[in-house]
Amino acid sequence: MQHRIRRPIVAGNWKMNGNAALVGEMQQALESQQFENVSVVVCPPLTYLGTMQSDTFSLGAQNTSDKASGAYTGETSLSMLQECAVEYVIVGHSERREYYAENDQVVAAKVAAVLEAGLTPIFCIGESEQVRDAGKLFEFLASQIDAVLNIIGINAFANVVIAYEPIWAIGTGKTATPEQAQEVHAFIRQHIAKQNGEIAEKMQILYGGSVNGGNAQSIFSQPDVDGGLVGGASLKPNDFITICLAANELR
């Protein structure tokens, strides 16, 4: 039975962590569970995508090229990801924006390419501590959303998942409070609703930043939080399952 208007998603972003042993361990652990009310997504490093396969969870890539093919050394195309049964692609993670110079234009081109390929982008946005402290939180997030919205158009947002990941909460153990997450998620939904209320109402908005087995339930139970994008805790099968079950049991 579906309990919420929007089906929750829990996506595990392994980043550049894990190994072949963890692939096997995670696959086995997840397959011992039943996730009726949550879509579970595992995003391991690229080299493991071809070796993971399951009816219990979906596969996600951590990045993609926006180009179809050609002389782009080191890049991977969406058709290649599709051959590995990838369904979701994380785009615009703050680590890619910071370390690999992905600006709003690059992120918009990638979101457009993922949609064009028929896959689901997990489009990441989030502010630094400085932006928040300067009182520019909403202005900043609106500009990150608009950079993509202006390129792909509002109708395409029907197939986009947004992940709100405050940079100050990533890998720091300093989670946004459930109230802080709810405030921002409601803002994001209202911002989209200015263009199309129906699309905004159906859009899944995930929270990311130090989600763990202990705090997932309280964050996910906020009305505008539709699950999470999990880093560190997604590398530990038991913790990740606890988080997935917290979303599975939402009412």
| Residues within the interface to ligand 13P (CB under 6 A) | 13, 93, 165, 170-171, 208-211, 229-233
59 neighbors 41 (Cβ within 8 angstroms): yes
Nearer to ligand 13P (CB atom), residue 178 or residue 193: 178
Cβ neighbors of 121 (< 8 A, separation 6 or more) are 88, 89, 90, 91, 110, 111, 114, 115, 159, 160, 161
Distance separating alpha carbons of residues 98 and 86, to the nearest angstrom: 25
- Decide if 25 is catalytic: no
- Residue nearest ligand 13P (C-beta atom): 231
Catalytic entry in 139, 165, 183, 201: 165
Task: Give the nearest distance from C-beta 62 to ligand 13P in angstroms.
Answer: 8
Please state the φ and ψ torsions of residue 82, each to the nearest 5 degrees: -65, -30
Nearer to ligand 13P (CB atom), residue 10 or residue 199: 10
User: Please, what is the end-to-end C-alpha distance for the chain in angstroms?
Assistant: 10
- Decide if 36 is catalytic: no
Identify the three-state secondary structure at position 121.
strand
Catalytic entry in 93, 102, 127, 185: 93
Nearer to ligand 13P (CB atom), residue 154 or residue 178: 178
Task: Give the nearest distance from C-beta 236 to ligand 13P in angstroms.
Answer: 11
Task: Give the nearest distance from C-beta 171 to ligand 13P in angstroms.
Answer: 4
Which residues are part of the catalytic machinery? 93, 165
